[in-house]
Structure 1
Amino acid sequence: MQAEGKFWPTYTMKNSEKLLNRILITRQPEQSAEFVNLLSSRGLYPFILPMIETVPVECEIKNKAFDYLIFTSSNAFNYFKKYINSIKFGKIAAVGKKTAEAIEREGFDVNLIPEDYSGKGLVKKFMNREINGMKFLIPGPKKTSNTLKNFLVSKKAIVESPVVYETIGIRYPRGFISGFIQENLIDCITFASPSAARSFLSQTKIPDTVKETVVIGRTTFSYLQENGINAVYPNKYTVNDMVELICKINDEKE
C-alpha cells in the first residue's frame, strides 16, 4: 500500500555561518509543530517532507483485564484510546515524556516511565520484578520490535499485542526528494523512526551535500548503520534533544 506524495513550499532564507542550518524534517506534519518551533527558536530553518503516514487498524482484544497497559509511542495510545473503556487495567507504562503527556491529557495516570525512552528501557524496569502470570497489553504498529514482548514472555508474563495502526511509506515522483534537498540546500536530515528512514532510502540516497544525519534514538541509528550510513543521536530520545544535538554540533564547528 502506498500513499500519494505531498508537496511542500519552499521559502527564502538569509545566509548563515552555521554548519547545520537547513534542517529536513521527515515526520508527519501534524507531529512536527514542536520540532519546527524548536529549530526556528534557535535560528535554524526547518523544511518538512514527510516520509511516512499512519493509518488505523481495527483490532480485537482477547482478554478484558490487564495488570499493565504499555504504550511505546503517542501513536500507539492515540490509536488505542477508543478501546480503553472496554477493558480493565491496573497500571500504565509509557515510553517517553511525550507519550506520557498524550495519555495524561486524556485523564489517565502514568505509573511508569523508563529513564531510557525505549522498549529496552522498560525491559530494565521490569528486569528485577516478579511478573510471572501478570497480564500485559502492548498496542502498537504492524511492524515493531519484539524486544519488550519477548522479554516479558521469557519472565512468564501473559502478553497481548494488538495491532492498532500501520505505518505507510509516502511515495514521491522519481527525483523529487533529491530535487527538494538540492533546491533548498538541505545540510541536515532528521529521522524520528526507522520507518521514515526506510521510506527515504527506498526512494533515494542521502546526497554528499548533506553534512549530518541526526536521528531520534538507537533503533533508527542501528537501521541506518546497517545500511552503511553514519548518523548521530542524542542521549535522550526526544525531539528537543535532537535540536540540542544539532546546536551542539554547530557550536563545536564554529
Structure 2
Amino acid sequence: MQLPLSGKKILNTREALQAGKLTKMLEESGGAVFEVPLLKISCKITNENKSFIQNLSRFEWILFTSSNGVHCFFKLLSQCNLELPNLHIAVVGHKTEEALKQYGYHAELVPEIYDGENLVQEFLAKYKVNGKVLLVQGSRARDIIALGLKEAGIPYEVIIVYENTFNDDAKVTLKRLLRTKHFDYITFTSPSSVEAFMMYQDGVLRLQTNPVFVCIGKTTEDKAKELGLTNTISPSMYTIEGMVQAMCETTK
C-alpha cells in the first residue's frame, strides 16, 4: 500500500531541536524531508530574569504561550533553586500543556483553538481575575494577549524567557535547495519562520513550481499571506500532527 506522501518532497523549516519529530512523522507518511532550521531558540537565563522570578507569589495567574516558554521558564526556576508557587495556570495549546506536565503541573485552561487570541478571549470569559497575571513569552511573541488583558483592566507583567532569532547559517542551504529541488510542501510553525524564509530565499522562490505552504495555524497562515504566499493550508487542530494530516489529505 502506497503511503500518502510517497514521492513528495517537503521542506521542514522548524527550529533544529524541534524539527526531528515533524520530520519523523512526515517520513513515516512517505515524504522525503529536507530540514533547514530558520530560527534559533535560546533561553534567557539573565540576572534580570533571575531577579524577576524571586517573588512569583505576587501573581494569581501565569499564562504560557509556547512549549519553549515552559521549558525556558522552568530552566530559569531550576537555576535559581526555586519552585513554582500555587498559581493558576493557562496555556495556549495542547503541546504547551504537554510541556507543562513534564514538570509536574497542569493547566486549568487550554483554549479550544490553539492561539493567543482565543486564549485571552476564553480566559477573560471564564474567570474572574482578582490579582496580577504573569505572561511568559519569547522575544518575537505577538502582543495580542497583553492587549486583551490591558483592555480588560487586568494588571499583568511580561517576562521574556527565550530569544527567538533568525538562523543566518540557514540562508545558503535554503537558497541552494530552492534552486535544486522542487518542493511539494514547505512547512511553517510560526509567523517568525515565514518572515525568515521570505528574507533568506531572496527571490529564489520563483524557481519553485508552486509548492503548498503548510502553516501550523491561522496566525502563521495570515503572516504567509501577508508576505505574498497564497498557496497555503493550515489544519483545524493547530499542531504538527494536524499539519501532517492536512498534507496527507491534500494528496487524496
Which TM class, normalised by the smaller chain length? 0.7 to 0.9
Instruction: Provide the TM-score with structure 1 as the length reference.
Output: 0.84
Kindly indicate which of the two structures has a greater share of residues assigned to helix: 2
Judged with a 3 Å threshold, the aligned counterparts in structure 2 of structure 1 residues 30 and 17 are, in CA distance, closer, same or farther, namely closer
Instruction: Provide the TM-score with structure 2 as the length reference.
Output: 0.85
Question: Relative contact order (C-alpha < 8 Å, sep 6+): which is higher?
Answer: 1
Q: How far apart, CA to CA, are the structure 2 residues paired with 1:102 and 1:173?
A: 27
1:143-182 pair list within 5 angstroms: 143-172=140-169, 176-182=173-179
User: How many angstroms does 1:162 deviate by?
Assistant: 0.9
- The answer to whether the 8 A contact 1:188-1:210 is kept is no
Q: Which runs of 5+ in 2 are unaligned?
A: none
Superposition CA RMSD, Å = 2.4
Q: Which runs of 5+ in 1 are unaligned?
A: 1-15
User: How many angstroms does 1:134 deviate by?
Assistant: 2.2
1:169-208 pair list within 5 angstroms: 169-172=166-169, 176-204=173-201, 205=203, 206-207=205-206, 208=208
Q: Relative to structure 2, which stretch is displaced further, 97-106 or 151-160?
A: 151-160
- Equivalent residue in structure 2 for 1:64, among 56, 60, 65: 56
1:96-245 pair list within 5 angstroms: 96-129=93-126, 131-172=128-169, 176-204=173-201, 205=203, 206-207=205-206, 208-230=208-230, 231-245=232-246
User: How many angstroms does 1:210 deviate by?
Assistant: 4.1
- The answer to whether the 8 A contact 2:6-2:29 is kept is no
Deviation string 1:105-144 (CA, Å, 9 cap, x unpaired) is 1111222111100111212212324545421111111221
Pair 1:80-2:76 in alignment = no
Identity of aligned residues (%): 27
Judged with a 3 Å threshold, the aligned counterparts in structure 2 of structure 1 residues 127 and 173 are, in CA distance, closer, same or farther, namely closer
Q: How far apart, CA to CA, are the structure 1 residues paired with 2:4 and 2:93?
A: 34
- The answer to whether the 8 A contact 1:24-1:186 is kept is yes
Pair 1:248-2:249 in alignment = yes
Partner secondary structure for residue 60 of structure 2? strand
- The total of aligned residue pairs comes to 237
Deviation string 1:181-214 (CA, Å, 9 cap, x unpaired) is 3334322111101111111111214333242111
Judged with a 3 Å threshold, the aligned counterparts in structure 2 of structure 1 residues 151 and 201 are, in CA distance, closer, same or farther, namely same
